[in-house]
Chain A
């Protein structure tokens, strides 16, 4: 008998429908049912989505209401299911499900934050609006990256030859993304190529800065106040060498390039910390066969240290790739098929597609265990 895990299954009995434009009225209409379902039990709540989007704040409010802790601190799991259109704020909501499912007819659309104005804008007003929109985009992108990362790990390890190269070292990322690109329509494949171009320039400037800083003594112990100016010097040195044949000057475009490189490295460093929990669980999937054999021969207490030195760099570049990808998703219009949403880590499962899902893997193990337990 196949075993079902309710944490990964849609459940009509405990469901809500989010249809039409997301407005404050939508939240008013859904709230009583959400409270009713939460009061009845702590089992997962299924949210069926067919919406062109609307207010991100209201969509967030609906999710928080479903996921708010009860008096004992327990939270309900949220299963999201795209049954028609899931655009904009509705697409974000879909991806933020603890388990996200797309039906084959679903249509998933991403774009950046928008604001509609009725009054005339001044320069100061426009600047503040632009900063506000940028901040919202950044926050939404990082939130999306956090929920997509685990899914993308499962996607890339399916890319057989490319993942072997990536296990050899983080330089294999380009080939890995190239293999992933083959799963997309040419229009959406551009998205991945743009990310890889950014990743390449990051890698170049990072290597140059690393080589420059290696010449300094005890650089790892330097306080950030001392390290940052040295990093700027490293970047200026790299850019000057890169442009030694050109008429390149800091006073022309040079300073802007240096600032952009500095921000890129700074962003990479601040984004790639705190990956410890993920490294502990998924790190072993990024070891070469030889490393894997060595890893298995070590005691459990030494596993963490081993993964830090043999898998962390790969997980870091992959994480930064996901962050860059999610940032780009928030800038232009991207219409995704359910399969593309699957390969981008927006959803966990596409029903009826035969694509491997977390649910299938977990239920497989449960079924196997239940079969072996039988007398």
Chain B
């Protein structure tokens, strides 16, 4: 049993997304895949951090505080124990 068309398709098929990765590595990173990965990982991490900070804006420092529910829980357990 052999699906020849599947074998042939698998041999010839080239993923366009990977082809794009190749073009970027060759055009922007002189063929250095590690430089591409490291720099993109870094940029994404920076974007993520910047996004995190802007999502909360001025409230960001306040988020370090325990929630109101937690404070009430703690007060009530101290009060009734």
A-side residues, CB < 8 A to B, are 1-2, 5, 7, 57, 60-61, 64, 67-68, 75, 96, 143, 146-147, 150, 154, 157-158, 160, 167, 274, 277-278, 280-282, 284-285, 287, 289, 292, 295-296, 356, 358, 360-362, 364-365, 367-368, 371
Q: Does B12 contact A (CB under 8 A)?
A: yes
Chain B residue with Cβ nearest A291: B31
B41 proximity list for chain A (CB < 8 A): 364
Q: In the bound complex, do residue B33 and residue A158 qualify as a contact, i.e. CB atoms below 8 Å apart?
A: yes
Q: Is the CB of A292 within 8 A of B30?
A: yes
Q: Give min CB distance, B1 to chain A, whole Å.
A: 6
Residues of chain B with a CB closer than 8 A to A146's CB? 7, 10-11
List of B residues within 8 angstroms of A281 by Cβ:
14, 18-19, 22
| Residue from A147, A158, A364 within 8 A of B44 (CB atoms) | A364
B63 interface residue, CB < 8 Å from A? no
Q: Which residues of B in the span 22-38 have a Cβ within 8 Å of any Cβ on A?
A: 22-27, 30-34, 36-37
Q: Tell me the bound Cα distance from A133 to B41 in angstroms.
A: 47
A291 → chain B closest CB, angstroms: 10
Q: Is the CB of A2 within 8 A of B7?
A: no
* B44 and A361 contact, CB distance less than 8 A: no
Starting from the known contacts A157-B33, A167-B31, A358-B15, 16 additional A-B residue pairs (CB-CB under 8 Å) come to A150-B18, A160-B34, A274-B11, A277-B12, A277-B14, A281-B18, A282-B22, A284-B26, A285-B25, A287-B26, A356-B34, A361-B21, A362-B17, A364-B44, A365-B40, A367-B44
The CA of A280 and the CA of B12, in the complex, are separated in Å by 12
Task: Report chain B residues within 8 Å CB of A5.
Answer: 17
Residue of B nearest to A60 (CB): B1
Q: How large is the interface on B (under 10, 10 to 19, 20 to 34, 35 or more residues)?
A: 35 or more
Nearest-CB distance from A303 to chain B (Å)? Answer: 11
Q: Which residues in B have their C-beta under 8 angstroms from that of A284?
A: 22-23, 26, 31
In the bound complex, residues from chain A placing their C-beta under 8 Å from that of B18 are 150, 281, 358, 361-362
Interface string of B1-12 (1 = CB under 8 A from A): 111001101111
Residues of chain B within 8 A (CB-CB) of A280 are 14
- Give the residues in chain A near B27, CB-CB below 8 Å: 296
A68–B18 Cα gap in the complex (Å)? 24
30 contacts between A and B (CB under 8 A): A2-B44, A2-B48, A57-B1, A60-B1, A64-B1, A67-B6, A75-B9, A143-B7, A146-B7, A150-B18, A157-B33, A160-B32, A160-B34, A281-B18, A281-B22, A282-B22, A284-B22, A284-B31, A285-B33, A287-B31, A295-B26, A356-B34, A358-B21, A360-B37, A361-B21, A361-B36, A361-B40, A362-B18, A365-B40, A367-B44
Q: Are B20 and A365 in contact (CB under 8 A)?
A: yes
A185 to B45, CA, bound (A): 34
Distance in Å: Cβ of A29 to nearest Cβ of chain B? 19
Residues of chain A within 8 A (CB-CB) of B33 are 154, 157-158, 285, 356
A289→B10 contact, CB < 8 A: no
Give A282 to B21 CA distance when docked, in angstroms.
10
- Most B-side CB within 10 Å, residue of A7, A167, A274, A371: A371
